[in-house]
Amino acid sequence: MEPAPRFTPRIAHVSSADREFVSRICTEMTLSLMLHREIHSVGNRRREDRRCIRSVTSTYVIYGGSGGIGSAIARLLHEQGAQLHLVGRNESRLKKLAKELSAEFIVGDVADDKLFARVAEAVTQPLDGLAYAVGSLNLGSLRRLTSADALADLRLNAVGAALAVQAALPAFRSSSRVASAVLFSSVAVTQGFPMHTSVAMAKGAVEGLTVSLAAELAPKVRVNAIAPSLTRTPLTSTILSSEDQASSLAGLHPLQRLGTPEDIAELAAFLLSERAGWITGQVIAVDGGRSTIRHRG
């Protein structure tokens, strides 16, 4: 840093007290200028540090990459310069999105145990994060619930998440940073809704898995979950096919609207990033206030 100029005014025919006063003012002005330059220098260094962080390419795997929330996460991470591996069942949608985002993709069903090994083999570089944006919406009365339905929901939501993280561990350990896994729960775990027995049970297992993995994998891997309320995605299109029904359901939320995939993706991208470096073992609601605020009645 260049030395700050010293103010040296010419002082003549003034008293000793006046000279001392003027000298003190000049000294304070000099110190103020030096402080201003130092603050400006620190600001430049911080901006340079942020540019350096952004210039390092992160690598992420997104399960459910062709779905509403998964694709929103992928697009947001792509905007941030990430390298992506998308996993999903719908080959045509997955291929189209992968081309748009210059991403790798693996077609498969999380109900197939062999998929996770295939994903691990495809990711040849260190892995910085994983999002398991896979879910089901199997609504129905307890009277009609079968063990096959319940086990299928549990397998898809919780067991699949566990196996996805398990398969990613070697690549996580190769990362130069603390890796991050983001799983997905539901507002239905904390709020009792009729007809949600199977999905609430499965997503409750995801919350238990989240805190267990966070404890086991710390400090090398952070694990968190997001618990959305009703969000406009292809998965919920049947429920929201009627605008009257959609408006009625939106009115149950204090913020008076339904969620969007982008609402969820913003938090997911944050949790995957180093900016969330001191957050693990948390289940965070993105639900328009529905889980904590008594809006009606």
Q: Which alpha helices (DSSP H) does 109-187 contain, by range?
A: 114-122, 147-154, 160-174
Supply the pLDDT for residue 121.
97
pLDDT of residue 163: 98
Percent share of the chain, pLDDT over 70: 80
Instruction: Name the least confident of 101-105, 115-119, 248-252.
Output: 248-252
pLDDT of residue 208 exceeding 90:
yes
In the chain, the percentage of residues whose pLDDT exceeds 90 is 65
Burial 90-122 (b: 16+ CB within 10 A, else e): eeebbeebbeebebbbbbbebeeeebbeebbee
Q: What is the pLDDT of residues 38-94, one digit of tens each?
A: 655 655 555 454 444 444 689 999 999 999 999 999 999 999 999 999 999 999 999
Architecture of domain 58-286: 3-Layer(aba) Sandwich (3.40)
Q: What Rg, from alpha-carbon coordinates, does the chain have? A: 27
In a 13 Å sphere around the CA of 12, the CA atoms on its Cβ side amount to 1
